[in-house]
Structures are given as C-alpha cells and as structure tokens.
Amino acid sequence: MAPTQPERLSLTKSFGGWHGRYRHWSGVQNCDMTFAVYLPPAAEHRKVPALWWLSGLTCTDENFMQKAGAHRAAAEAGIALIGPDTSPRGTDLPGEHEAYDFGSGAGFYVNATQSPWSRHYRMYDYVTQELPALVQAHFPLNGREAISGHSMGGHGALVCALRNPARYSSVSAFAPICNPVQCPWGEKAFSGYLGDDREVWKQWDASELIAAHGSELPILVDQGDDDNFLRDGQLRPEALQYACSQAGVDLNLRMQPGYDHSYFFISSFIEDHIAHHAQAL
Amino acid sequence: MAPTQPERLSLTKSFGGWHGRYRHWSGVQNCDMTFAVYLPPAAEHRKVPALWWLSGLTCTDENFMQKAGAHRAAAEAGIALIGPDTSPRGTDLPGEHEAYDFGSGAGFYVNATQSPWSRHYRMYDYVTQELPALVQAHFPLNGREAISGHSMGGHGALVCALRNPARYSSVSAFAPICNPVQCPWGEKAFSGYLGDDREVWKQWDASELIAAHGSELPILVDQGDDDNFLRDGQLRPEALQYACSQAGVDLNLRMQPGYDHSYFFISSFIEDHIAHHAQAL
C-alpha cells in the first residue's frame, strides 16, 4: 500500500531552511501520527541525506526541533532532520496515559507483542519502515540515513542501527538507555510490551545485541556525569562499554563532566554529533 | 534596602557555562519573581558583561533560554545572559489571567499608574533598577550592560535603552512592537496600565521617544517578512524607521524574507545580535 499523503500542520523558516510538522495515518500503528522534518537550504537544489532523531520519554516531535539548536548545524552540513513522535497517540488503552514511562510518550521503539499494546505500539516498524517510506516519497531525500537520539530515543537509535547493520551510515546517542533489560525503565516497558520472557527482551537491548552480533558501525555516545538517571542506574553506559570492548566494537563514549540529562546537554554537543554523521553521510 | 538573596531553583551546565534559575522577593512589584542567568565559561575567571533579554507575550524566563540557541554564542563571546519574567506572578488581580495580551505574561515593561495594576505591575523599574542591582550583587558581572528582546520584549528593550541614554552599550530587537500607541496590543495594554491620556503613553513608545529625543545608540532590528503580527499591524517597523530617519538615528532594520514571529526566527539570527552586542560591550 502506498503511503498516504501527509497533511502539513505548519511550515517555519529556520536557518535558511524549513521546519515542517506533518500528520498522517499510520497503518502500522492504527492511529494518526505527527512527525517533523527540517530541510536544510541545500534541499532546494538537490536531494539530501537524513538524520533520524528519536526522542526520549514524554517528548513529542517538538522538543528536539525547538530546544536542541540542531537546525544551525544541519543547515550548514546540508542534512535533513526527521523527528518522529515517541508513541502512538489518540488511542485510549487502559492505563495508557497514567505513567510518564509507559504508554503514551513512552513507546520505547519496540514492536509490542502483548495485548492491548500490540495493536498500536509498533514504533520499531514505524520508525524503520513506514515513516522512512513516507518521507522518502514526499521529501527531497537521497536515501542515505543516519540515526541518533536521546535517553529512550538513544536506546532506540542504537537498537535500530544494530538490528539493521547495512541500513544506517552512522549512529550516535545522548545519554542512551544502554541496557534496558537491566534497568527499571526497561523492565517495566519490556514486561508490558513484550511479556515476561527475558530472552525476547534481549533483541531490543543495545548491549545484548552487541554481545550477540557485534557491529561494524562506529558508535558515538555522549553522557553527562551529573545525570540523575545515570546515578539511578537507568542508563548503564558501562554495560555498553563492556559489550563493545568484548566484541571489538568502536565505541567513543564521552563522559561530559558536569552535564545533566537535559536539552541544554544535548544542545552543547549536537554540533559534534551532526559532524560525526555528516562525515559518514 | 539591600536586595534579598535570590533562591536558586536549578543550575544546569550548558556550553561549558551555567544556566541558573532564581526566585526572589521583588519589593518593587510586591511579589516573588523568577529570573534566569546564563554565565559563560569566562565567568569562572573574571567578571563579564551582561546582555539583558526581555521576552514577549506569554513567555517566562524559560522560553528564550531553551529555544533561542543563545548559550552557544554567549559562551563564545564571554557574555552573561539575563532573562527576567514578563510580568508579576502569584498575584490575583481581577481579570489578570484572562487574556494573553494583558496582565500575567504581558507586563509590557511599563510602570502601571492605574489601580489595581500599579501595586504590582512595575516591570520597567524592575528590569532597569531592582533586578540589575540584585544580579550585580550576586553574580560575577562587570557592570557593562546591553539589552535586547522579542516582540513585546523588543519594545521593552528599545524603551529601556531610549529612556536611559548612557546606560546600555548597545540595543537590538527581534520583531519589536515599534509603535505601541498605534497598535491594538499597545492600545489595550497602555489603556489598562497607564489610563486614557495618550500623551502619557508616548513615554513608553520607541518611535515616539526617538521623535522626541533621538538617540546616539545604533539600533539593530530583525523583522521576518512573513510574520502574521507584522501583517496585523501590531509591530509597525515602518514607524520606527520613519522616526529614525527624521531624527538621524542609526537604525539597521533587516527585513528577513520568509521568517515568521517564532523562536526559529530568533535562533536563526541570535548569533548576529550577540556579535553586535559583543562589539559594544
């Protein structure tokens, strides 16, 4: 089935390019979804590569586009930014809107297998298949893709890249959930979306995927050392570091002194990440 | 009376510097006020100059700091950013919270003379006297100041600079309300805060102040030409331009094609404004 034409909600000029927000019917998730695309000035003359950005818990397509200061570097590098939402919306499943870390705003970029979530919560297929086909059809993109994200979205970016070895030219993450099978956020989300079999969970865990399959892609990760979620054991970069060292994967894990989990942290280093991706794209 | 010690609400590292939010009792406005200070890395070693940022309708101290991407350029230039709120808060005057363009979030940087507003709404004295004394006492500032702002805050920045000719080393504005005595926003706010005498209003109107007194300061203004409030006659840059040309004031009014009234517009040009102020500071 051809992707439905997305409906444009807004279009705003930014750093010489254009930031648009769009809504479309997602057949994969059985609901309307909203996403954002930033096109750099270069896209007026040629097709450009795309950097996917997966956001963290509670975010929509807006947080990154408004707060990360990424348009500046993307305009300069001639890279489009694509920002999906973080979960299905407009559904009303039991308990869906009760917690910030499960249900709406917290899709965790997996394909749910458990009822009632499995009918809608298929963010993995959405961000790796349905939405890429749609943006490829409707925007001036050259088909080359990189992926990055923050926190839950850093987990998503790593998992998407590791499960699709030839797909993305590069991957990076800010304060990712590196080992969800071993942290409270991941245990809660994976139990609910995937059921009780912890072996199944491992297919959605960056550290486990690297331990099982390795990776040819170099990985850039920035992590603030004053991040309260790091202290709470939600992020576990040490697990990713151990898996990469065992598997011979090229991980550049930069512990950034004094930085926390916020978009101020992301904006401070987004230029480095866009340069990392620009080189590969 | 010595300024009360401000209470720190948060402190976040950003571009090597620190973004803090603070609350203090305002004796001028008879309520608690919140403000933000971004200190560049240079402030760890020496006192730095300050750029005041006055925000627009509905904003708090947070919008500019989160969305303008200004920390990057301020860190590089060694300039502190100071962001007051846009009105008194926590008061509960009749009708205060009913409209987005009057009362809370809409102080217009004037000293109200009309009851009940005059007991609290004294944003002009607050941003030109009380808050400067407080930040000078508690932060590593060298006493040199510049001022900028957006929309209602662009009006505020121009009026503060024009009423205090020797005070600020430089002034700029994004999409300012240039001639509030002649636009719906200004007429509503000035009637409510200042009463019916339109002669009094002129003391709070950048175009009228320039016509009456001129200015030695060069003025930098960016205005998007696809700004719906420009179309609606709220901003009137042509009045400012006319007043400056008559009075021989050095106005650099840049009409930016395709840009609207949003923070995407501000972020696209904030680096130019910070460079403008850095040269003067």
% of residues, chain A, pLDDT over 70: 99
> Looking at this predicted complex, what is its ipTM?
0.94
Q: In B, which residues are within 8 Å of A265 by CB distance? A: 12-14
The answer for residues whose C-beta is within 8 angstroms of residue A197's C-beta and 6 or more apart is: none
Indicate the residue of B12, B67, B268 with minimum beta-carbon distance to A262: B12
Option in A12, A69, A260 nearest B262 (CB): A12
Q: Tell me what pLDDT residue A5 has.
A: 82
Peptide bond into B116 cis (omega under 30): yes
CA-wise closest residue to B148 among B34, B270, B258: B270
Range B249-274 average pLDDT: 98
Beta-strand relationship, A251-256 and B219-224: unpaired
Compare CB distances from B13 to A14, A71, A260 and report the shortest one's residue: A260
Candidates A227, A273, A276, A277; catalytic one? A227
Q: Write down the pLDDT at residue A98.
A: 93
pLDDT score for B1:
47
- pLDDT tens for chain A, 281 residues: list them: 455 689 999 999 999 999 999 999 999 999 999 999 999 999 999 999 999 999 999 999 999 999 999 999 999 999 999 999 999 999 999 999 999 999 999 999 999 999 999 999 999 999 999 999 999 999 999 999 999 999 999 999 999 999 999 999 999 999 999 999 999 999 999 999 999 999 999 999 999 999 999 999 999 999 999 999 999 999 999 999 999 999 999 999 999 999 999 999 999 999 999 999 999 99
The answer to whether the pTM exceeds 0.80 is: yes
Question: pLDDT tens digit string along B151-186?
Answer: 999 999 999 999 999 999 999 999 999 999 999 999
Q: Do B12 and A260 touch (CB under 8 A)?
A: yes
pLDDT at A32: 97
How far is CA B13 from each of CA A71, A259, B17, B240, rounded to the nearest angstrom?
21, 5, 6, 39
| pLDDT for the residue numbered B107 | 97
CB A258 to CB B13 under 8 A?
Answer: yes
B261 a catalytic residue: yes
Q: Which residues of B touch A (CB under 8 A)?
A: 12-16, 19, 66-67, 69, 71-72, 224, 226, 258-260, 262-265, 267-268
Token pair for B46: 């020496």
CB contact under 8 A, B69 and A267: yes
B13 vs A contacts (CB less than 8 Å) = 224, 226, 258-260, 264-265, 268
Alpha carbon separation from B132 to B51, B52, B75, B127 (Å, rounded): 11, 9, 21, 7
Residue B15: closest CA among B83, B78, B82, B62: B78
| Torsion sign across C-alpha atoms A183, A248, A154, A72 | positive
Q: Calculate helix-pair angle for A263-280, B70-77, nearest 10 degrees.
A: 90
Q: Greatest CA span in chain A, whole angstroms?
A: 51
Give mean pLDDT, residues B72-83. 98
Q: Which residues does chain B have within 8 Å of residue A72's beta carbon, measured at their own beta carbons?
A: 69, 267
Q: What mean pLDDT, rounded, does chain B reach? A: 97
The answer to whether the Cβ–Cβ distance between A16 and B66 falls below 8 Å is no
**Angle (nearest 5°) at CA B167 between B162 and B168:** 80
Q: Is A267 within 8 Å of B224 when comparing Cβ atoms?
A: no
pLDDT value of residue B4: 66
8 Å CB contact of A13 and B258: yes
Using the structure block, give the residue that is written with the tokens 């030109």.
B128
- Helices (H) and strands (E) counted in chain A, each on its own, are 11, 9
pLDDT at A1 (0 to 100)? 47
Q: Once rounded to an integer, what is the mean pLDDT over residues B24-50?
A: 97
Q: Which among B44, B268, B272, B274 is the top mutation candidate for probing chain A, defined by the most A β-carbons within 10 Å of its own β-carbon?
A: B268
User: Token pair of A141, please?
Assistant: 């993109």
Size of interface A-B (CB pairs under 8 A): 61
Query: Given an 8 Å threshold on Cβ–Cβ distance, is A72 in contact with B267?
Result: yes
Task: Measure in Å the smallest separation between the Cα of A191 and chain B Cα atoms.
Answer: 34
Q: Where are the beta strands (DSSP E) in chain B?
A: 7-14, 17-26, 31-39, 48-54, 80-84, 141-149, 171-174, 219-224, 251-256
CB contact (8 A) between residue B16 and residue A268: yes
**pLDDT class of B110 with cuts at 50, 70, 90:** very high
Among A10, A11, A13, most B C-beta atoms within 10 A, so best to mutate, is: A13
Considering only CB atoms, B264 lies closest to which of A13, A260, A265, namely: A13
The residue of chain A with its CA nearest to that of B261 is A12
Looking at residues B228-237, what average pLDDT do you find?
Answer: 98
Active site residue B120: no
Output the pLDDT for position B5. 82
- Percentages helix, strand, coil for chain B (3-state, rounded to 5) are 40, 25, 35
Select from B14, B224, B260 the Cβ nearest to the Cβ of A267: B14
Closest in B19, B69, B264 to A12, CB measured = B264
Is A224's CB within 8 Å of B13's CB? yes
Cβ distance B264 to A19 less than 8 Å, yes or no, reads yes
The shortest C-alpha distance from A272 to chain B (Å) reads 12
pLDDT at B2 over 60: no
Are the Cβ atoms of A264 and B12 closer than 8 angstroms? yes
Please give the mean pLDDT across all residues of chain A. Answer: 97
Q: CA-nearest residue of chain A to B225?
A: A13
Q: How many residues does chain A have?
A: 281
pLDDT in tens, A24-81: 999 999 999 999 999 999 999 999 999 999 999 999 999 999 999 999 999 999 999 9
Cβ distance B66 to A260 less than 8 Å, yes or no, reads no
**The predicted structure's pLDDT at residue A4:** 66
Residues of B whose CB is below 8 A from A19: 264
What is the residue type of A5? Answer: Q
Cα–Cα distance, B64 to A230 (Å, whole number): 28
Rounded Cα–Cα distance for residues A2 and A134 (Å): 8
Residue in A12, A14, A264 nearest the CB of B13: A264
A71, A150, A261, A277: the active-site residue = A261
Taking CB atoms and an 8 Å limit, are B267 and A71 in contact across chains?
Answer: yes
Give the start-to-end residue ranges of the domains of chain A.
Answer: 7-280
Q: Pick the catalytic residue: A151, A169, A170, A207? A: A151
Tell me, which fold does domain A7-280 have in CATH?
Rossmann fold (3.40.50)
